[in-house]
Amino acid sequence: MDIQFTEEQELLRSSVQRLLRDQYDFEARRKILGSEDGLSRRQWRAFAELGLLAAPFSEDTGGLGGGPLSTMLIMEEFGRHLVVEPFVETVVLAGGLIEQLGSEAQKQACIPDIIAGTKIWTLAWTEKSSRFDFVNVTTGALRDGEDYVLTGDKSAVIAAPWADYLIVSARTSGHRHDRGGVSLFVIDRRAANLDLQSFKTIDGRRAAEISLRGVRGQLLGREGEGVPALEACRDRAIGALCAEAVGAMSELNSATLEYSKTRKQFGTTIGSFQVLQHRMVDMFIAHQEALSLMQHLNLSLNTGEAGVARLASGAKSKIGYAGRFVADQAVQLHGGMGMTDELNIGHYFKRISSINIQFGDPAYHLLRYAQLDTAA
């Protein structure tokens, strides 16, 4: 199974490849990580200029109409280069939710700035005790005139320190486990009564704990429809994150193969040892399967097929385990070098570990895959 890409899609892929090859090598990335902000706004504008931030949006909202397949192509290349800038958070999560739920006025107000690269967004749904469950929300929202006022805490929100706007899930009715009582709100990250405590993540990004103590927000979509919207949003995010993981796995495999052909011990290249040959064959197989499943998922997202939720969970789990296997073995086969901050191998390991936590770990999604089986 191999997708026949259109000329436009191939063009998108090669232009992303060219941009990252020229401007986003490992050293450039290291400088970005070490900067005070921890991201490159210049790079972000370059993504905008190339049309990457417009690619998946529909044409009526000013996008290029590329949908999940363009996201897939971009994220696979981002995965190869370990891009830290918040494409998933801004374009796939926030952009996707606004496009799906927003009023015409909201779309007009928000999406052009995303596409132009002038505003960064993120989604704040996790709470201290929510784990991977969208329903488990304690942050509350009370109606006040046209707006709502939000009070509560959000946890480990990736990209929040960089963001201009947040989409926040909050409870408008019901108890803590009531599926129908969660709504989504747009808030200004610099709004009054919003406090942010930043920290670094294992993969070199920035995240924050967010405290909301009476923060004004604007409803996105309808009251009580937050959970199904978040679920659909997660499926798209999984499509993007799996593409990123597959890109990272592909780099790990080629770097490990290359190393095994040059590193000599016991008078020969370590790639000549059968035990390592078999290990690398298994890494190759893991990548092949992950690539196929990832493409299959993104094709299904693109056509909006029924049952895509189950497939998304299946892919997140399978590709999560495959990614961990490949990353583990890439570090192991590089020996001490794989443990260093200096070499890129460990950074791929950390990104894959981080992807595995975002939106639920492989064990969580394995269970969800089983639970969504209508035949069982």
Partner 1 sequence: MELALSAEDAAFRDEIRAFIAENYPEEMRVPNPETDLSKEQMLLWHRILHRKGWIAPLWPKEYGGPGWSITRRFIFEQETSRAGTLPPLAFSVTMVGPVIYTFGNEAQKRKFLPRILSGEDWWCQGYSEPGSGSDLATVRTKAVRDGDHYIINGHKTWTTLAQHADWIFCLVRTDPTARPQSGISFLLIDMKSPGVTVRPIITIDGSHEVNDVFLEDVRVPVENLIGEENKGWTYAKFLLGNERTSMAGIGRSTRYIDKLKKIVKAEIAADDPAHLEFLRDIARVELDVLALEATELRVVAQMARGIDPGPAASLFKIRGTEIFQNITELTHRAIGNYGLAIREHPVSANHFMPGPDYGHTASEKYLNSRKLSIYGGSNEIQRNIIAKAVLGL
Q: Which is nearer to partner 1, 49 or 342 (CB)?
A: 342
Structure tokens at 187: 């808030």
Q: Is 339 in the site for partner 1 (CB under 8 A)?
A: yes
The position carrying tokens 């791929």 is 348
Q: 180 phi and psi, to 5 degrees?
A: -85, 0
Structure tokens at 356: 């595995």
Kindly state the smallest distance separating residue 162's Cβ from partner 1, in Å: 15
Q: DSSP letter at 145?
A: T
Candidates 24-32, 79-87, 211-219, 337-345 — which segment interacts with partner 1 by CB under 8 A?
337-345
Structure tokens at 245: 């993981």
Binding to partner 1, residues 4-43 (CB under 8 A):
none
Q: DSSP letter at 84?
A: -
Candidates 33-41, 252-260, 283-291, 361-369 — which segment interacts with partner 1 by CB under 8 A?
361-369
Q: How many residues does the chain have?
A: 376
Candidates 21-29, 65-73, 130-138, 233-241 — which segment interacts with partner 1 by CB under 8 A?
130-138
Kindly state the smallest distance separating residue 30's Cβ from partner 1, in Å: 12
Kindly state the smallest distance separating residue 316's Cβ from partner 1, in Å: 14
Question: To which H or E segment does residue 219 belong?
Answer: strand 206-220
Q: Which is nearer to partner 1, 107 or 154 (CB)?
A: 154
Structure tokens at 14: 């090669």
Do 185 and 220 contact (CB within 8 A), yes or no? yes
Which one, of 95, 70, 67, lies nearest residue 9 by Cα?
70
Compute how many residues bind partner 1; rule: CB under 8 A.
Answer: 46
Binding to partner 1, residues 158-187 (CB under 8 A):
158
Instruction: Compute the distance between CA of residue 341 and CA of residue 207 in angstroms, rounded to an integer.
Output: 20
Candidates 50-58, 108-116, 229-237, 362-370 — which segment interacts with partner 1 by CB under 8 A?
362-370
State the binding string over 270-289 for partner 1 (x if CB under 8 A, else -): ---x-xx-------------
End-to-end CA distance of the chain: 28
Q: Is 354 in the site for partner 1 (CB under 8 A)?
A: yes
Q: Is 138 in the site for partner 1 (CB under 8 A)?
A: no
Which one, of 162, 182, 153, lies nearest residue 117 by Cα?
162
Kindly state the smallest distance separating residue 43's Cβ from partner 1, in Å: 22
Binding to partner 1, residues 190-249 (CB under 8 A):
197-203, 207, 209
Q: Is 328 in the site for partner 1 (CB under 8 A)?
A: yes
Structure tokens at 289: 């399967």
Q: DSSP letter at 169?
A: E
Structure tokens at 340: 């260093």
Do 179 and 159 contact (CB within 8 A), yes or no? no
**CB burial of residue 341 (10 Å; 0-12, 13-18, 19+):** exposed
Q: Which is nearer to partner 1, 96 or 338 (CB)?
A: 338
Q: Is 257 in the site for partner 1 (CB under 8 A)?
A: no
Q: Is 361 in the site for partner 1 (CB under 8 A)?
A: yes
Q: 65 phi and psi, to 5 degrees?
A: 70, 25
Binding site for partner 1 (CB under 8 A): 126, 128, 130-132, 155-156, 158, 197-203, 207, 209, 264-267, 273, 275-276, 328, 331-332, 335-336, 338-342, 346-347, 349-350, 353-354, 357-358, 361, 363-364, 367
